[in-house]
A and B are shown apart, each in its own frame.
Chain A
Amino acid sequence: MVYKKYEYDSFRIFAISTDQFKNCHMEVVFYRDAKTTRLTEQTFLVDMMGYTSLQYPTRRDMIIRMEELYNASYYSVTSKVGALLISNFVFDFLNPKYVSESSYLDDCLQFFFANILKPNMNDEGFDYRTFQTIKNRLQADLEAYKENPTNFAIRRSLELVYPQSISSKSILGNFEDLEACTREGMKRAYHDFFEHSHCDIYLIGNLDMDLVAKKILRYFKNPVIKMREPSLFVENKRLRSCKTVCESSSFVQSTLVMTYQMKNLTKYEKDYVLSLFGEILCGSSLNSRLYQYLRNENSLCYRVQTIYQKYDELLLIVVGLEHPNKDLAVKLIKKAMKEMAQGKICEEEIEMAKKQLHLALLMNMDNQNSLVNNSFFHEVGDVPLLEDRRKNIPKVTKKDLVALAKKFSLGLIYELKEGENHEED
């Protein structure tokens, strides 16, 4: 695997050359500060740009073209990581060596970049049909988060912990902001998006990267040069005490979310110690602490999930269980966290977790999306490359883990309580 970087005035190309895949994967990534007022608009805009374009003005036209390009796949997605709003335009296509048409690579690049540079808009604004379709879709998505007890409970926990912070905001924004979006306004948003976002291109596949970089210069233009790199970290205030909140629902199962704040982590802790800590506490294996305490020893639940939002300095522990078991689950989770801070971690447990991470990292190296994702956060957030993590995680010591465990403080115990009567249809 060979990493290569091409730097131009207003964007960079990061190429990973490997013969591992028959697929070629390319992403144009735009990123900027995440502001609450910007979330709905940017999600809306980017969704439209991934849906149709000036050249392919209906979804049908777009997909027919992708089928003609040997089932190439083009889509766009917006996400929020810490303080950063990230929009990815993603394109997957077959390695040209499997295709008889000599123009295939150019056809693919032309299609991909024209979708981004020539969106489906005219003087009045974005295309009516595209606008309306995406608006309806986003409205449904905003409503649908209440359908999933886990998503709902996580969202409510974040809102209760940091009601004002960007950390608690959904990437979809809210109904009011969605209603305020207009076709004309989205046209302005498009220009603003290009003007104020940083832009990089990531590419992975078995390709002549120098040649592809030259071709990209022909098909892609980004005229605006940005100087200041935005930061990933959100400065959230310290939580002074732990709140307990219980809300009712009509779901069959209760959901418990315990939200911990993690303050003042060093770069070393964020890069290496945190993932090992996570693996020991609640990793992929049923041998991890929380699985042992909650599932294996007490049969309280099927699944325990931990979500690390390291750029928001938050750890969420999520459990689906029966309401009467909630207090015992809280006690056991607190016990597990306390034991970690007291150094009650055995070397065997640490070694096992290191091996699990070793597997996860190697499996990520077999995945194009993971490789590109890692490459992006390496560039933007100074996150180590997968290979560096693989080399350095084995060096993490018990002392490092204990020091990290002491930096967690419980901020909220939230329960989305199951309904009283269930009717099974």
Chain B
Amino acid sequence: MKKIEIKGCDETFFVDVLDCGLPVIIWKNEHVKGYYLTLSVKYGSLDTDFYLGNKGYHVSQGLAHYLEHLNFHEPDGSDAQDFYAKNGSDVNAFTTFDYTSYEVYGVDYLPENLHHLLDFVLTPSFTSESVLEEQNIIIEENKMDFDNPSNLLYYGTFQSLFKTDRHQFFITGSKEDILKIRKEDLDLVYQAYYHPENMFLVVTGNVNPYEVVTIAKENLAKKTFLEFQHPKRKERREPAKVVTPYKEITANVEVERIRMAIKIPRKNFREKDDYKLRLMLTLLLQSNFGPTSPLYEELLENELILSLGCEKSILHDYVLLFLNAETKYPNELILKLEAALKHLKVDEKTITRKIHSAIANMVLSYDDITEVNMNIQEQLMHYGHILDCQKEVFESICLRDMKDVLKDYSCKEMCVVVLKQKK
């Protein structure tokens, strides 16, 4: 087992790759009582079209999430929940665009809980009947998504941004998508993706790393796996242009909201390190639109916003920047934000202060076993490995780097979505 020192944080991660190909990452925290186990598979809602060898396949939107539900069914007819409830532990799961994660919280019974996590996720036991039984439950979950105005705005913006990229579709799919899902599709995906080489186990909390690895090795040694087929997501060429520059959608909202997005080809940025670029984009957005920016203050003073937030993403070939606001005056606000997006600024004092505060945040994140676990998952999905020198990267950012990012930035491809009240 390898140790990775997290520089500047006084923390150590234990990393091993088991014979079956499963990477295991462990962070030990003796100060807490509990532990958090996550077993994740790199299969998410985006993977609806893929190749196994040369053969192409298509499955319904929402299948990853459906599969997440069904995996809780056990061969003896029970549910994984039954096992964990008896052990006084909690089990749950979530599906993202890119991966599906099965999670267990516990304080006792680590060996039993870890064995069972590896057992139930790696032993499919869904039947045509269980697929049908779960259908209405998922439809009701899906309705909750549709009744949430923030979701409508979130996905609505992706629909404006993207022509082919599948971020525009709900992770759970639509009711029609859910009704189309059949056991054969679920089997196909399970066989293709649920393989240790395509998964990772992350354990954080009060555990002995050597014990965790021993348990995982023991368990997986008893299982046989076919050769991993290395499924490939079908690449879709996404045009650089946004699909709909301006759109209004209606929902049960009392206060109108807007979401603006900018789409920039990743290749436009000279900075090749995705992690550093993400940090710099965050600094750029925070400096210009965060609560310490003069613009934020001005918009509040003129009562043009009730709230304003910003975020960034690097999705495949594109860098995306988002602004979200609650406002009574969408038209006026959009003009102001568009003008600001055309004239972004950076200054050394602000950048230095924000870097220091971000480093403090990073140190504090180690108070929370869930946050550390989620950060590890994110690093493995985004970068394929653990980032051990985040602090150094933060400290390496200088004004010149930021100015380079500004030079590479462009807001030519922009879209706006306004969420209006249903009449």
**Interface residues of A, Cβ cutoff 8 Å to B:** 19-23, 58-60, 63-64, 66-68, 70-71, 94, 98, 129, 132-133, 136-137, 140, 143-144, 146-149, 249-253, 284-287, 295-296, 299-303, 320-322, 352, 354-356, 358-359, 362-363, 365-366, 368, 422-425
Are B254 and A140 within 8 A (Cβ)? yes
Q: Residue-by-residue, is B53-97 near A (CB-CB < 8 Å gives 1, otherwise 0)?
A: 000000000000000000000000001011011111110000000
Closest 8 CB pairs of A and B: A355-B88, A143-B254, A71-B357, A302-B141, A70-B360, A253-B143, A299-B136, A425-B249
Bound-complex Cα distance A71 to B296 (A): 19
Bound-complex Cα distance A362 to B105 (A): 11
Contacts of A63 in B (CB 8 A): 290-292
Are B353 and A251 within 8 A (Cβ)? no
Is B348 on the interface with A (CB-CB < 8 A)?
A: no
Are B252 and A366 within 8 A (Cβ)? no
Interface segment out of the listed B229-237, B315-323, B362-370, B399-407? B362-370
Are A59 and B31 within 8 A (Cβ)? no
Are B138 and A252 within 8 A (Cβ)? no
Could you tell me which residues of chain B, from 115 to 154, have a CB within 8 Å of some CB in chain A? Answer: 133-138, 140-141, 143-144, 146-149, 152
Q: What is the CB-to-nearest-CB distance from B84 to chain A, in angstroms, rounded to a whole number?
A: 7
With CB as the reference atom, state the residue of chain B lying closest to A321: B140
Q: What is the CB-to-nearest-CB distance from B35 to chain A, in angstroms, rounded to a whole number?
A: 10
20 contacts between A and B (CB under 8 A): A21-B367, A22-B366, A60-B291, A60-B293, A66-B357, A70-B360, A71-B360, A144-B254, A147-B252, A149-B147, A284-B90, A300-B140, A352-B88, A355-B89, A359-B107, A363-B34, A365-B33, A366-B32, A422-B146, A425-B152
Are A303 and B144 within 8 A (Cβ)? yes
Are B357 and A70 within 8 A (Cβ)? yes
With CB as the reference atom, state the residue of chain B lying closest to A99: B360
Q: What is the CB-to-nearest-CB distance from A360 to chain B, in angstroms, rounded to a whole number?
A: 8
Could you tell me which residues of chain B, from 146 to 185, have a CB within 8 Å of some CB in chain A? Answer: 146-149, 152, 156, 174
Contacts of A296 in B (CB 8 A): 79
Are B144 and A147 within 8 A (Cβ)? no
Is B411 on the interface with A (CB-CB < 8 A)?
A: no
Are A363 and B303 within 8 A (Cβ)? no
With CB as the reference atom, state the residue of chain B lying closest to A251: B147
Bound-complex Cα distance A22 to B362 (A): 11
Bound-complex Cα distance A60 to B296 (A): 8
Could you tell me which residues of chain B, from 386 to 423, have a CB within 8 Å of some CB in chain A? Answer: 422
Are A94 and B360 within 8 A (Cβ)? yes
Given contacts A147-B254, A362-B34, contact A322 B156 (CB under 8 A): no
List 17 additional contacts besides A299-B134, A302-B141; criterion CB under 8 Å. A20-B31, A22-B363, A70-B357, A129-B300, A140-B254, A144-B253, A148-B148, A250-B422, A296-B79, A299-B133, A300-B136, A302-B140, A322-B140, A354-B88, A362-B34, A366-B32, A424-B146
